Amino acid sequence: MFFQKLKTPGIAHVSYVLGEKEAAIVVDPRRDVDAYLRLAHENSLQIQFILETHRQEDFVIGSLELARLTGAKIVTLDHPLFGHSDIRLQDGEELELSGLKLRALHTPGHTPESTCYAVYLDEAPTVAWGVFTGDTLFIGEAGRTDLTDPLKTSEHALQLFDSIRNKLLPLGDQTLVWPAHGSGSVCGGNIAERDESTLGFERTTNPAFELTRDEFVAAKLHERIPRPPYFTLMEKLNLEGGAALAKPWSSIPWLPPKKFASELQQGLVLDTRDPEAFAGGHVPESVSVWLKGLPVFGGWVATETTSVYLVLADAGDAESAILALARLGIDRVEAILAGGFDAWRDAGLPISQSRTIAPKELEASHSEFAILDVRDDVEFEDEGHIEGASHLYVGYLEEHLKKVASSLREKSSVAVVCSVGHRAGLATSILRRHGFARVANLLGGMTAWQHLKLPVSKGKAQSITTPDIEGERK
Amino acid sequence: MFFQKLKTPGIAHVSYVLGEKEAAIVVDPRRDVDAYLRLAHENSLQIQFILETHRQEDFVIGSLELARLTGAKIVTLDHPLFGHSDIRLQDGEELELSGLKLRALHTPGHTPESTCYAVYLDEAPTVAWGVFTGDTLFIGEAGRTDLTDPLKTSEHALQLFDSIRNKLLPLGDQTLVWPAHGSGSVCGGNIAERDESTLGFERTTNPAFELTRDEFVAAKLHERIPRPPYFTLMEKLNLEGGAALAKPWSSIPWLPPKKFASELQQGLVLDTRDPEAFAGGHVPESVSVWLKGLPVFGGWVATETTSVYLVLADAGDAESAILALARLGIDRVEAILAGGFDAWRDAGLPISQSRTIAPKELEASHSEFAILDVRDDVEFEDEGHIEGASHLYVGYLEEHLKKVASSLREKSSVAVVCSVGHRAGLATSILRRHGFARVANLLGGMTAWQHLKLPVSKGKAQSITTPDIEGERK
Amino acid sequence: MFFQKLKTPGIAHVSYVLGEKEAAIVVDPRRDVDAYLRLAHENSLQIQFILETHRQEDFVIGSLELARLTGAKIVTLDHPLFGHSDIRLQDGEELELSGLKLRALHTPGHTPESTCYAVYLDEAPTVAWGVFTGDTLFIGEAGRTDLTDPLKTSEHALQLFDSIRNKLLPLGDQTLVWPAHGSGSVCGGNIAERDESTLGFERTTNPAFELTRDEFVAAKLHERIPRPPYFTLMEKLNLEGGAALAKPWSSIPWLPPKKFASELQQGLVLDTRDPEAFAGGHVPESVSVWLKGLPVFGGWVATETTSVYLVLADAGDAESAILALARLGIDRVEAILAGGFDAWRDAGLPISQSRTIAPKELEASHSEFAILDVRDDVEFEDEGHIEGASHLYVGYLEEHLKKVASSLREKSSVAVVCSVGHRAGLATSILRRHGFARVANLLGGMTAWQHLKLPVSKGKAQSITTPDIEGERK
Amino acid sequence: MFFQKLKTPGIAHVSYVLGEKEAAIVVDPRRDVDAYLRLAHENSLQIQFILETHRQEDFVIGSLELARLTGAKIVTLDHPLFGHSDIRLQDGEELELSGLKLRALHTPGHTPESTCYAVYLDEAPTVAWGVFTGDTLFIGEAGRTDLTDPLKTSEHALQLFDSIRNKLLPLGDQTLVWPAHGSGSVCGGNIAERDESTLGFERTTNPAFELTRDEFVAAKLHERIPRPPYFTLMEKLNLEGGAALAKPWSSIPWLPPKKFASELQQGLVLDTRDPEAFAGGHVPESVSVWLKGLPVFGGWVATETTSVYLVLADAGDAESAILALARLGIDRVEAILAGGFDAWRDAGLPISQSRTIAPKELEASHSEFAILDVRDDVEFEDEGHIEGASHLYVGYLEEHLKKVASSLREKSSVAVVCSVGHRAGLATSILRRHGFARVANLLGGMTAWQHLKLPVSKGKAQSITTPDIEGERK
């Protein structure tokens, strides 16, 4: 028996390798499949099946590529939204692997094709050992239900509620829960930080079980998690089994500052250093996306057609940065700045700086600053915000710049706020790109603000662009 | 929330780091504590408590050293067999860590002081999330009950049965099970290979729950797991919180062949290469303990007073070999052979070879060979053995050489058998050290034998030394 | 200024990266070019030129691939044996790199197109700092002159003598010497172990300078270094700039023992474990090539059309084994045995063993053994051999089996001898494949034999197959 | 033959391992000796001798500790400034190692006891292969002569001139040169970037050979390299063979922000992030020493009695930061900030920011800024500086704050300038600690300034504190 979780950093995705004797399955592999191959080799396992729980939206899957390299069969529910599988199971049908059985459970709600797989061991053929729950049931949360059609959020919430109650709950309290995402994923609202749970523990703590049907639907309608723009591309690629990596990352050129400068005119510069370093000095017009945020926010600022130019804190970050983008289908990384920002700086090339501000300093000079909170709706409303703050999620900033401008009114400066300063750094860089001259990133964000017991408001604010965005999202 | 299992290779020991916010506990740390420190540093955790489930027998613990380095408090049950703790809990008493609660459950049986710790999260203060079960409950097995007094095996079995039923079972099916050992440990008979389970799944599959009280006692009496000689030292050291590592492993000298040869006269040469390589050529009188077997069998052939000389397959194996021995309290590694066996060989120093034999070859020349099976009692009796084989566990070989000799009678050669060839390699080297000239290691052991469907017997055999050993063990 | 040697293990090849300011050159890159890219990235260097000293014979070069990935220009002498270069220098012509100058020196002898590159720094434009000598001048040796046409060995020796005297010597004593190969290469006879030297130090110690013209020619005629069969393919590929790696090594399947067994019928099993382990047990018919010998001897037993099946000591050896073969153009590695020989053994599949023998044991039972020495001519003749030994270089064994058989005459057993036991292990496995039943590998070889001061003969022996081989080689 | 250079990062120190057969020497080992032990183990070498070229001033040596761990003998010249050696050679005396000979050459000048060791190989007993030159001869430079007594700089320069001419030059052009420091060391003024050279190449390019006796003395008098304060402690420790590491680095506590904040009152906070990140936000009163500058500048701001608190860019930097300080004898690292600056920031603890300024921005607002150049004298005078800049080496800043203040006169802001911004970042943090409110770090420093072709002056400026510092240094 071999069992290992593989987490994909930044997107809180979890894939699984389950081996029994010489055979193994991989559940929900990501685009870069080397890690699965290595695990199999080191543990003398043959990957025989690749199971998909649903058509992932937040990363490109690696099913086809892994199948090509190993000869494994791709296994899914028999549903039109799985466009490419070799073995298509009916609801309740079982797959066998060296005595171990995996039973497919159709659990629509998050998406129509969503499938869970209950695992039964030889020694207890009727008692589920564990269940791969995909995005149907997370630890402490259920999947979001607004993705396929925001207008049908409540209908899908009802489906999901029933799937969880009728398909998962009967597996019993003892069942281990193995979801496709953990805390921090954009695929669920409030996933717990812990990675280990059971159906029985979820039954007593997870809102999906604690709420009534109506309460559950209301909660889902209240969720309003941002929908990253790259989801559409992911759905398209994953319908057909995903895509192999476009090229080895080592083939991307590293350009010296002047050459980098001359080429980047046609593209977007992403700076993956920390917000403080970015504030201290950066390539003009560059966008600040800290390294650990790149796996998500890279997809908010670039698409598969964007020419990306990277500024890294360290040459050793190249592989993870490029993979983070590749998992979002962003393959056109044109160049990396050789020598990093230091080389740029020392070459006398133009430099921009932006401002940071500490909480007490902002509190003291409150009157000079318009405050723009770029967290998501729930964070803003439920966790509290600075009195008088405008609100617009960082991802929607670029399309609503005029409204942002008008909302700031007569204030000469803007303080951008998020939870600790990363998204505010991104927002700061976007505003600066678009001509906002005096923008400061609140260091430590609301986390520091609240540690200092500075005053906060709760509840719905006058969101800058509420009408349009709601329209888009409905 | 941070949760990580750390497995100690070779002894199937599992320790745990559980963090909540900035604080963390370590459960059952091993002697070399660097891994805990690193995890804490990388995850910004302060180790505040060190919990012990019992006085470990199969390795030296690192509680005192970890406490010294971190300022953490050592937490145990209030019991005389915990000689050194800072916080001594009563049965049922709770410890708090950033909102998370750990309740001590006194669960005697494996040993008198054995304690489990149920973990309760803030969000569900009455429903156990998981339980650290020490050696009380393993996955698929319960702890052995013959250790503290073999004559009281059945009495302890009854205690253990009650502890499991009355203290653990009430925690509920949803409870995650985190034992101190996994498959392969000498602390339990038949631990399952999987590392993930719940009380509910154990309730339906683990013999500890499936058997009646009487059946459970009978099963425990039947177990007869070997008791390694180093257990006594471990118990003594661990009563006082274990011991820090004696010295950095890099300070052990690497000697060239001739110098190594001249010094090793006073010591024991351990060769950690594979049995095939050992058979092909080795330092005369050396003992063959393959690298992955060293963490257990090192302690059967050496003690804290043995001067050990190491022959390694690869210079890179030094650290793990030395740590494996150190975890058993064997600190007197005097030297490593620089350049490994190759250097010895090329220096023209004396070389011994031993024989290997393939199953079909043994089958064909059956009449020439006395067969000696060195697996443990249960393997020999229940899993089948070669017809006519004598039986003596590898660990008892050295004390019973005369009986071995007499049992082999007129046969000119001995074929030594274990499950695949590692322990048989060790046994072969011991026999050769003691003058048995014609000894062959059955390659692939009973595993290969049975794959080939060659004939096997089951049931109790005329064990070579039954009376004495039984006497010792009773 | 950046300067780094990159050694290619096993073939003693040395390539160089020389950087000045932001620009760099690579001299004589090997097929797998990732290491050059990484060095460039980490040191903020742009690879602008790829220099070739000659059409390498002992590995596939990576010039074209590196040029493709970096945009660098390939630089060679303007000679027909360089089929693919972008910049074709005349003898004496210079290339500039950020102020540093590289002057091409046509130095025929080893091969007709051989070129050295003298390096001049800005601060001393007329005093050579160092010289890339390719296979023209090694440390302690000069390149072999029998490769392009064995019948013209003496003519080429004269050329080489003149090239060294007339082109290199004038550069001056202070010049650092950077050859394309170090000790252990098949491209030169007796290369020194040290990697650092100067023209001045070579002038007083290297036979190329110490000998007269006639003595030098005589020495070259005496050399008789084996010519590996893969040289022909290398020459063909390298004429056009080499070849990119065929596929990522992680895409090669790892098969469980039975599947491996069923497929390998059409191929060749290479076992890269140490000779002692191979002797202790191995896959029948497999060929023993220890891991560090694979980069050369892999090419003696396999070709670009051989289907290779690998048995490794450790899963971690896969990458280096596959690269070692790929560098010889052997791309058809069909599978790796999952779990290594242990898995094969435990599956009860057929096992062969072979014999090892220690020097004293051989000395004692001299009369039973025919002795076959498989070292090269010079080792056999000049370094001494066992009295009465037959002689045939390991690489020629397979084509001359009948003569081997006849030479062994009435002796029932063969002892195979090399310097320490690696090549003898290979020879043993070849003989066993071809039906020689009783073959033993002399452990420690002549090295141990001579440490023990056992008797040796010197001078030319009755080589088994002298006439044929000489014919082939002339 | 085994030969390897080991560079110590940040201080440009080079130590050497030279092995012949089974024996090896180490030349000038640093305090942390693990790297030497590993090399020896991996290459089957016994370290037999430890050679010292002089009593190092810029790091703690590891001779005694390495001798303790290996049994090697410490070898030096027989001179009172070597207080601890086992073998004390006379000038010209030889040491033998497996046939290789090392001849001691007394070469006073840099220091009175300075010794070079010429290496002779068996094959050329009268022609030097290479020479370990310590701080007597660097590549492109000679050692500084002001250390032991600044008033005798010229006298020592004469000695050094003679040592180089009379002791080294006769070894011949072919001799490889292996100095104890490379480019960037504080032990020599203008060491070349290349690491490879020969006496012959130095003879034609190194000022030590090109200048006349008088010119050489004049050049030495002109050098004025700063003398770090830690040199005194190094000399004291190294007189007796150096010191073992005080404790394993993993034993240093990592404290969460609030605990870190409460403890650091008694100590000095060193922030090893890049200057841009430091500028964007930092712990108030902390000192900015970028990670790669720590091995030198750590010793300008802390001493062996300073309680140091570290803020790191990455948890993975801990080992190198602590070792860098330990090599300077700074062992009292009391704590590391767990979670780095991010954790501090998010905890709402006080934050300071400082300003950065780009060259063009400074040029444009020239009139507002007093400019303070903190490079060393030679950089300032010979490489050019901004018109009107005051000058004081960064290391002397703290003792001359009043003069700095007065020199800035009426200007409201200070722009601090170095070559690229690292030392200016350090200077900025020191000024800020001492109450200078408006200080900006010129990003890219003079490197960027000159790339932009902005105006520079050359020659001696009105140095702020010339009289005192000169006094100290004379």
Contact (CB<8Å) D204/C124: yes
**Cα D410 from Cα D403, distance rounded (Å):** 14
pLDDT class for D474, splitting at 50, 70, 90? very low
Q: Is B37 on the interface with D (CB under 8 A)?
A: yes
CA distance, residue C343 to nearest chain A CA (Å): 9
| CA B422/CA B428 separation, integer angstroms | 10
pLDDT in tens, D86-117: 999 999 999 999 999 999 999 999 999 999 99
C92 near C104, Cβ under 8 Å? yes
Q: Which residue in B has a C-alpha nearest to residue D38's C-alpha?
A: B250
Six token digits for residue C429: 């496995």
CA–CA separation, D356 vs A354, rounded Å? 10
Structure-derived torsion over alpha carbons of residues A258, A259, A263, A267, reported in degrees to the nearest 10: -70
pLDDT at A438 over 60: yes
Tens digits of residue pLDDT in B94-149: 999 999 999 999 999 999 999 999 999 999 999 999 999 999 999 999 999 999 89
One-letter amino acid of D231? F
Write the Ramachandran bin of D346: left for phi over 0, alpha for psi from -120 to 50, otherwise beta: alpha
Model confidence at D377: pLDDT above 70 = yes
pLDDT band (50, 70, 90) for residue D21: very high
Q: Which comes out higher in pLDDT, residue A138 or C250?
A: A138
| Residues on chain C touching D130 (C-beta within 8 angstroms) | 196
Q: In one letter, which amino acid is A84?
A: H
pLDDT tens readout for residues A224-271: 889 999 999 999 999 999 999 998 888 899 999 999 999 988 899 999
Chain C residues closer than 8 Å to D195 by CB: 3
**pTM, to two decimals:** 0.94
Nearest to D254 among B40, B251, B339 (CB): B40
Who among B37, B38, B44 is closest to D343 (CB)? B44
Q: Is C11 left (phi over 0), alpha (psi -120 to 50) or beta?
A: alpha
pLDDT at B217: 96
Which chain C residue has its CA at the smallest distance from A253's CA?
A: C70
Cα–Cα distances in angstroms (integers) from residue C405 to residues B76, C411, C430, C436, in the given order:
74, 10, 13, 8
Residues 6+ apart with CB under 8 A from C306: C267, C268, C330, C332
For every residue of D168-220, DSSP letters joined together read: IGGG-TT-EEEESB-TT-TTBSS--S----BHHHHHHH-HHHHS-HHHHHHHH
C176 touches chain D (CB under 8 A): yes
Q: What is the mean pLDDT of chain D?
A: 93
Q: What is the pLDDT of residue C469?
A: 38
What residues contact C66, with CB distance under 8 A and at least 6 apart?
C26, C29, C33, C36, C37, C47, C50, C72
Mark yes or no for CB contact A358/D341 under 8 Å.
Answer: no
For the stretch C49-95, pLDDT in tens is 999 999 999 999 999 999 999 999 999 999 999 988 999 999 999 99
Instruction: Provide the terminal-to-terminal Cα distance of chain A, rounded to the nearest Å.
Output: 46
Q: Give pLDDT tens digits for A163-203.
A: 999 999 999 999 999 999 999 888 888 899 999 999 999 99
CA distance C215 to chain A (A): 50
What does the pLDDT read at residue C411? 82
Q: Flag whether pLDDT at D273 surpasses 80.
A: yes
Q: What is the mean pLDDT of chain A?
A: 93
Q: What is the spatial distance between Cα C14 and Cα C419, in angstroms, rounded to a whole number?
A: 25
Could you tell me which residues are beta bridge partners of residue A463?
A391
Scan for tokens 């207890």, then name that residue. A124
Distances (CA, A) of B441 to B357, B372, B424, D358: 6, 10, 6, 75
Range in B410-414, B427-431, C167-171 with the lowest mean pLDDT: B410-414
Among B40, B248, B315, whose Cβ lies nearest the Cβ of D41?
B315
**Whole-number percent of chain C with pLDDT over 70:** 97
Q: What domains can you pick out in chain D, each with its CATH number?
A: 2-239 (3.60.15.10), 249-346 (3.40.250.10), 355-473 (3.40.250.10)
- Residues contacting residue B68 through CB under 8 Å, at least 6 positions apart: B244
DSSP collapsed to 3 states, chain C: CEEEEEEECCCCEEEEEEEECCEEEEECCECCCHHHHHHHHHCCCEEEEEECCCCCCCCCECHHHHHHHHCCEEEEECCCCCCCCCEEECCCCEEEECCEEEEEEECCCCCCCCEEEEEECCCCCCCCCEEEEECCEECCEEECCCCCCHHHHHHHHHHHHHHHHHHHHHHCCCCEEEECECCCCCCECCCCCCCCCEHHHHHHHCHHHHCCHHHHHHHHHHHCCCCCCCHHHHHHHHHCCCCCCCCCHHHCCEECHHHHHHHHHHCEEEECCCHHHHHHCECCCCEECCHHHHHHHHHHHCCCCCCEEEECCCHHHHHHHHHHHHCCCCCCEEEEECCHHHHHHHCCCCCECCEEECHHHHHHCHHHEEEEECCCHHHHHHCCECCCCEECCHHHCHHHHHHHHHHHCCCCEEEEECCCCHHHHHHHHHHHHCCCCCEEEECCHHHHHHHCCCCCECCCCCECCHHHHHHHHC
Mean pLDDT of D388-392: 93
Query: Nearest Cβ partner of B193 from A1, A192, A196?
Result: A1
Q: How many Å apart are CA D129 and CA D143, to the nearest integer? A: 22
Residue C464 scores a pLDDT above 80: no
Paired tokens of C452:
């023990």
* A330-349: average pLDDT: 96
Examine the pLDDT at A131 and tell me if it is beyond 60. yes
Q: How many other CB atoms are found less than 10 A from the CB of residue B226? A: 17
**All chains having 3 or more CB pairs closer than 8 angstroms to chain D:** A, B, C
Q: Give the count of beta carbons closer than 10 Å to the beta carbon of residue A94.
A: 12
Q: What is the DSSP string of A350-407?
A: --B--EEE-HHHHHHTGGGEEEEE-S-HHHHHHS-B-TT-EE--GGGTGGGHHHHHHH
Closest residue in A to B2 (Cα) is A194
Query: What pLDDT is stored for residue C474 in this prediction?
Result: 34
Q: In the predicted model, is pLDDT for residue C347 greater than 80?
A: yes
**In this predicted structure, what is the pLDDT of residue B460?**
76
ipTM of the complex: 0.94
Angle made by CA atoms C226, C231, C232, in degrees to the nearest 5? 125
Mean pLDDT of chain C: 93
- Please state, as a whole number, how many other Cβ atoms lie within 10 Å of the Cβ of residue A81: 16
- B96-to-A140, A205, B128, C299 alpha-carbon distances in Å: 22, 20, 14, 65
Q: What angle do CA C447, C450, C455 make, to 5 degrees?
A: 140
Cα B459 to the chain's mean position, in Å?
A: 26
- Whether C69 and C47 have beta carbons less than 8 Å apart is answered as no
**Amino acid in position C24:** A
CA dist., res. A248 & res. A319, Å (int): 10
Cα–Cα dist C148/C157, whole Å: 12
**Candidates A194, A203, A204, A209, partner chain B, best to mutate (most B CBs within 10 A):** A194
Q: Across residues C133-144, what is the average pLDDT?
A: 97
Q: Cβ–Cβ of D174/C205 closer than 8 Å? A: no
Structure tokens at B380: 């020999």
State residue D472's pLDDT score: 34
Residues in chain A: 474
Question: Is the CB of residue A160 less than 8 Å from the CB of residue A109?
Answer: yes
Q: Does A245 touch chain C (CB under 8 A)?
A: no
Q: How far, in Å, are A132, B410, C318, D156, D474 from residue D151 at the CA level?
A: 79, 93, 63, 10, 6
Report residue B471 as tokens.
């006497």
- For B143, what's the count of Cα atoms within 13 Å in the CB-facing half-sphere? 34
Which of B66, B249, B254, B262 has the most D C-beta neighbours within 10 Å, making it the best mutation to test the interface with D? B254
Question: Which residue of C313, C421, C450 is in closest CB contact with B345?
Answer: C421
| pLDDT for the residue C248 | 83
Whether residue B173 and residue A200 make contact (CB cut-off 8 A), yes or no, is yes
Q: What angle do CA C237, C238, C240 make, to 5 degrees?
A: 80
- % pLDDT > 70, chain A: 97
Residues of A in contact with C34 (CB under 8 A): 250
Kindly tell me if the per-residue pLDDT of C382 is higher than 50: yes
Over residues C271-279, mean pLDDT: 96
CB atoms within 10 A of CB B255: 23
Plot region of A221 (φ>0 → left; ψ -120 to 50 → alpha; else → beta): alpha
- Give dist(CA A117, CA A131) in Å, integer: 5
Q: What is the DSSP string of B6-68?
A: EEETTTTEEEEEEEETTEEEEES-BS--HHHHHHHHHTT-EEEEEE-SS--SSS-B-HHHHHH
- Convert the pLDDT of each residue in B162-219 to its tens digit: 999 999 999 999 999 999 999 988 888 889 999 999 999 999 999 999 999 999 999 9
Confidence band, pLDDT 50/70/90 cuts, at residue D386: very high
Compute φ and ψ for C87, nearest 5 degrees: -120, 125
Token pair listed for C454? 């056992």
